[in-house]
Structure 1
């Protein structure tokens, strides 16, 4: 095993140790691509395809060769990485020179220095299909053992990506809740200021703030924040 290669067990463990508080989904995808390149024998370059609806893109890649071969497929709407992503299947192209399913793409791949590929379906998010794409610079770079290992790796990677997505969603909801609570608190403060100045009820104070918001075309929270900041003055606006 070369110094750059990882034992599969170590790679799987590393996927499980990714700190989700310090890595967003994009960073996790990049880590998945790098670990796959170092783990699966025959993988000289690796990329991750994301397909949302009819739009495909490469979310992570370890080298320009992988990106070039991916984008050629996206431009023409067909190829092994797209099939693997949309069908959530494993698609092997052991010899580009003899490939008949996507002959033009295979010819382009040979011209760029690639000779074989392996794409494994990789679920990324509920509305996003994905594929882990491995490219080799030799014919038949991926034997049966490599295929099984790539599929197993994709399974571990899918768990890491699901956790990253869930963490991201949870963190986003938490931030939204904090923002909403902060907004509510400042509105209540502003209501109190208006009530004190105008000797009115809470409902009447809220109506005053709402009218200012409408008349000035500003968010109610922004109106309240400005009023609280100027609480030492006499202008309700």
Structure 2
């Protein structure tokens, strides 16, 4: 059974009003899936899948049925969703009773009541890919106009995922830089202590720290922290 219809223009306008910096990614993609399901003619179920670092998952879906059809592909490493994710193209399967490329998955989809499918790759970046998957309850459910409309929703999902990945990457880089700055600060403190105790140069102090690190099989920062801690209580 098709979901209650909504005018495609209204659906896309609603998506455009979502502030990607104020709404959680899962909530954005759930809205994309819901609106696509209601706006794309012939759609019965929709999911958004994500492939990152070799891990596949259905990140948004309109029903458990849609999620299960995606997860079957992940478990068997076979299906149109995965191929669309890798190639970043649109794969339309108009009749699942006659599908030689993925017969196992097609049989699973037919058993669940789906007769056609559409998977649209989301080109996010090299390490992160995904697909918008639209399932139809009849054969030949998606004509050219339906496919083009689904691709518009897929483009929005790709932007949301790319923004989220960029934010995550930026936040990770910031944490790494902060950690590096903290490490450098404590190492400089330890060098200063050694220079004061041994009347040596900064280069000689660092060489001594490096040797202590190697001899004790500890990270340079850990050796520096221990030396600074001892100096603080002495």
Give distance in 1, aligned partners of 2:232 and 2:129. Answer: 56
- Structure 2 residue aligned with 1:13: 17
SS at match of 1:173: helix
Is residue 32–residue 153 contact of structure 2 (8 Å, CA) maintained in 1? no
Give distance in 1, aligned partners of 2:205 and 2:6. Answer: 67
Is residue 187–residue 221 contact of structure 1 (8 Å, CA) maintained in 2? yes
C-alpha distance 59-213 of structure 1, shift in aligned 2 (>3 A): farther
SS at match of 1:211: helix
- Of stretches 159-168 and 180-189 in structure 1, the one that deviates more from structure 2 is 159-168
> How many equivalent pairs are there?
225
Is residue 51–residue 129 contact of structure 1 (8 Å, CA) maintained in 2? yes
Give distance in 1, aligned partners of 2:154 and 2:26. Answer: 12
Is residue 91–residue 120 contact of structure 2 (8 Å, CA) maintained in 1? yes
Aligned ranges 1:111-126 → 2 under 5 Å: 111-126=111-126
> CA shift at 1:140, angstroms?
4.3
Q: Deviations over 1:131-162 (max 9, x none)?
A: 21122344444343332111112222222322
- Of stretches 31-40 and 221-230 in structure 1, the one that deviates more from structure 2 is 31-40
Gaps of 5+ in 2: none
Q: Deviations over 1:41-67 (max 9, x none)?
A: 324231314276xx5622513243223
SS at match of 1:122: strand
Q: Deviations over 1:165-201 (max 9, x none)?
A: 2222222222211111111111111111222223332
What is the TM-score normalised by the length of structure 2? 0.79
What is the TM-score normalised by the length of structure 1? 0.79
C-alpha distance 66-2 of structure 1, shift in aligned 2 (>3 A): closer
- Structure 1 residue aligned with 2:56: 57
Over the aligned positions, Cα root-mean-square deviation in angstroms equals: 3.0
Aligned ranges 1:205-224 → 2 under 5 Å: 205-224=205-224
- Structure 2 residue aligned with 1:154: 154
- Structure 2 residue aligned with 1:70: 70
Give distance in 2, aligned partners of 1:227 and 1:118. Answer: 62
C-alpha distance 221-195 of structure 1, shift in aligned 2 (>3 A): same
Give distance in 1, aligned partners of 2:115 and 2:203. Answer: 73
Is residue 50–residue 128 contact of structure 2 (8 Å, CA) maintained in 1? no
